[in-house]
Amino acid sequence: MIKDLIQSAIDEESKPYWDGLKEGKLFIQYCGGCHQSIFYPRSICPHCFSEEISWQESSGTGKIYSFTIVHQAFGPFKGDTPFVIGIIELDEGVRMMTRIIGDKEEIAIDKRVSVVFSMVESDLVLPYFEVV
Ligand SMILES: [Zn+2]
């Protein structure tokens, strides 16, 4: 189950992120010290080491930084192949690894994408992206 896999990754620092997904919101962190966005969630800014970190809702839009087509997968994603895994650069400047859904022919570096909240299991929503 994907949920079991992810459950172990949810901690106090990332809980607002996971809770936001269930409400159809993509939250990323913002540093009040150096005014940069942060992803993945953490308690100290990776840019300036400030602890002045808050949560902000992301625009959910960005572009494809890189991607690959997965033909062989293991574990809970085994039955989903072929699928596309990509690194999305959000308009807030942070990059996140995620799945890119939709027509594979449309997927290319620098293409604009938008978040899609995908309920992959009951009570588990993941942020996937699709070309807009
Ligand atoms: Zn900072």
**What are the structure tokens assigned to 60, written together?**
């959910």
Residue 26 pLDDT: 98
Residue 53 pLDDT: 96
User: In this structure, how many other beta carbons lie within 10 angstroms of the beta carbon of residue 97?
Assistant: 12
Cα 74 to ligand 1 centroid, rounded to whole Å = 37
Cα 96 to ligand 1 centroid, rounded to whole Å = 18
Cα 27 to ligand 1 centroid, rounded to whole Å = 17
Contact 104, 84 (CB under 8 A): yes
What does each of the 132 residues of the chain score in pLDDT, given as a tens digit? 777 777 777 888 899 999 999 999 999 999 999 999 999 999 999 999 999 999 999 999 999 999 999 999 988 888 899 999 999 999 999 999 999 999 999 999 999 999 999 998 888 899 999 999
Residue 96 pLDDT: 97
Cα 19 to ligand 1 centroid, rounded to whole Å = 24
